[in-house]
Structure 1
Amino acid sequence: MPGYVITYFPVRGRAEAARLLLADQGAEWKEEVVSIQKWMAGEVDLKKTAVFGQLPQFKDGDFVLYQSNTILRYLGQKYGLYGSNDKEKALIDMVNDGVEDLRQNYIRLIFQNFETGKQKYLEELPKQLCPFEGLLSKHAHGSGFITGSKISYADYNLLDLLQNHQNLAPDCLKSFPLLSAYVERMTSRPKLKVYLESEARKSRPFTPKK
């Protein structure tokens, strides 16, 4: 088995999409948990050696990566989740970049202005979700994956982000039938379902705050 190790804080956060991908592909990995308090206080040696001073860190044997989206693309290539030609890869990357844009908005809300900005954020959220609903509608009448009939690494990132928003506002997908059905399909995939129902997953909060 590959010697995968995810080093991250005791939350889902930026590492969760990679966990979803690995679980769904039947891969095993080890978790190395870093205290948020010690990291912020500069008491963790890894902070000095991390390429950009950030986590997650991902190890595949002796090979080490940082940056969550780079980790996803790497795993996407390893498991055949990155399209079959340059155009398919570009579309997957495009969707993943769109997920990242929305994730950045979500992160700013959670960590910078949650108390004063939540209502406005939720009012504007439908406009942010519409492109993903539209992308789903282009493939198999909305019953496929986000870029077509085959799952890609971007699907795991999108699923994680949608679940973050469902935690924030349980009815946020009510007016998006294709996205709602998409979440149900993804979370019903047998191997992924086992992980989602595991104590390891349930014990990790979405973020330090929520």
Structure 2
Amino acid sequence: MCDKPVLHYFNGRGRGEAIRIMLAVAGVEFDEKFYKTKEEFKELLQSGKLMFQQIPMLEIDGLCLVQSRAILSYIAEKYNLYGSDLQERAFVNMYVEGTTDLLTEVLKYFFLSESEKEKQRSYMKDRACNRYFPVYNKALEDKEFLVGKRLSWADVYLLDTILQIKEFHPDILQNFPHLQAFEKRMCEIPNIKKYLQPGGQRKPMADDEYVKTVVALVFS
């Protein structure tokens, strides 16, 4: 068993960023193993640890967990970030699935051709403003968190997605006052504030080197 959890992924955001911020919110110190070459990734594949031959993988509690939302739900359950009862968990799951759909449009952007990227920027803004953000804004009209009276996985996941979309559209929350207030509150939570500080474990926006690495290891 590892002394600290170890996140196996590429040296970038992708599907690993939400795992990093969730561990940070839970106050869990963790190590990272980055994969940069086919040889390194092949060695991991041959270890038998990857159930579906994909990363991210989180080694925690003697387990090798794969599939990002399965990993996130384990962290949420372990560290009391998953609602207080079955009904609340159902709503956490619904918000998470919606956020996943939106975040996928952000992550997709980096792997498109230059001619397709501008269209994708517009599409993610349209989806955010007309499908997802109105739902979250309404949910936060009269309460601090999306579900119940305490922080959950749904809040952390939404914050991460908001921050990533704002890098493309800085004013995207201008018509969503409750989401603006939510973002401000969330960013003042000590563990989140620490995580977001320069020099922390938060990764920068994907660059060409990150994209080339992912393409070489996953798609070739």
Q: Secondary structure at the match of 1:82?
A: coil
The one-letter amino acid paired with 1:74 is Y
Partner of 1:154: 154
Partner of 2:186: 186
Question: Does the Cα contact within 8 Å between 1:92 and 1:154 map onto a contact in 2?
Answer: yes
With structure 2 as the length reference, what TM-score do the two structures score? 0.81
How do 1:1-210 residues align onto structure 2 when only pairs under 5 Å count?
3-35=4-36, 38-39=37-38, 44-48=42-46, 49=48, 50-113=50-113, 115-119=115-119, 121-122=121-122, 125-129=125-129, 130-139=131-140, 141-201=141-201, 204-209=203-208
Report the alpha carbon displacement of residue 123 of structure 1 after superposing the two structures with TM. Answer: 5.4
Distance in 2 of aligned mates of 1:62 and 1:144 = 35
The one-letter amino acid paired with 2:29 is E
Which 10-residue stretch deviates more, 58-67 or 110-119? 110-119
With structure 1 as the length reference, what TM-score do the two structures score? 0.85
| 1:113-156, Cα deviation, whole Å (9 max, x unpaired) | 454342464256244344334334234x3551222322111222
Question: Does the Cα contact within 8 Å between 1:109 and 1:117 map onto a contact in 2?
Answer: yes
Which 10-residue stretch deviates more, 113-122 or 6-15? 113-122
| 1:166-209, Cα deviation, whole Å (9 max, x unpaired) | 1122222222222222221111111211121141335x223244
**Deviant stretches of 4+, over 4 Å:** none
Residues 21 and 111 of structure 1: is their aligned pair in 2 closer, same or farther, counting only changes over 3 Å? same
Which 10-residue stretch deviates more, 156-165 or 121-130? 121-130
Question: Does the Cα contact within 8 Å between 2:35 and 2:41 map onto a contact in 1?
Answer: no
Distance in 2 of aligned mates of 1:132 and 1:83 = 21
Structure 1 stretches lacking a partner, 5+ long: none
Question: Does the Cα contact within 8 Å between 2:58 and 2:71 map onto a contact in 1?
Answer: yes
How many residues are treated as equivalent by the alignment? 205
Distance in 1 of aligned mates of 2:116 and 2:12 = 24
Q: Secondary structure at the match of 1:111?
A: coil
Distance in 1 of aligned mates of 2:56 and 2:120 = 30
Distance in 2 of aligned mates of 1:34 and 1:14 = 14
- Identity over the aligned pairs, expressed in percent? 29
Structure 2 stretches lacking a partner, 5+ long: 211-220
Q: Secondary structure at the match of 1:45?
A: helix
Which 10-residue stretch deviates more, 115-124 or 103-112? 115-124
Question: Does the Cα contact within 8 Å between 2:83 and 2:147 map onto a contact in 1?
Answer: no
The one-letter amino acid paired with 2:19 is A
Question: Does the Cα contact within 8 Å between 1:146 and 1:155 map onto a contact in 2?
Answer: yes
Distance in 2 of aligned mates of 1:136 and 1:2 = 40
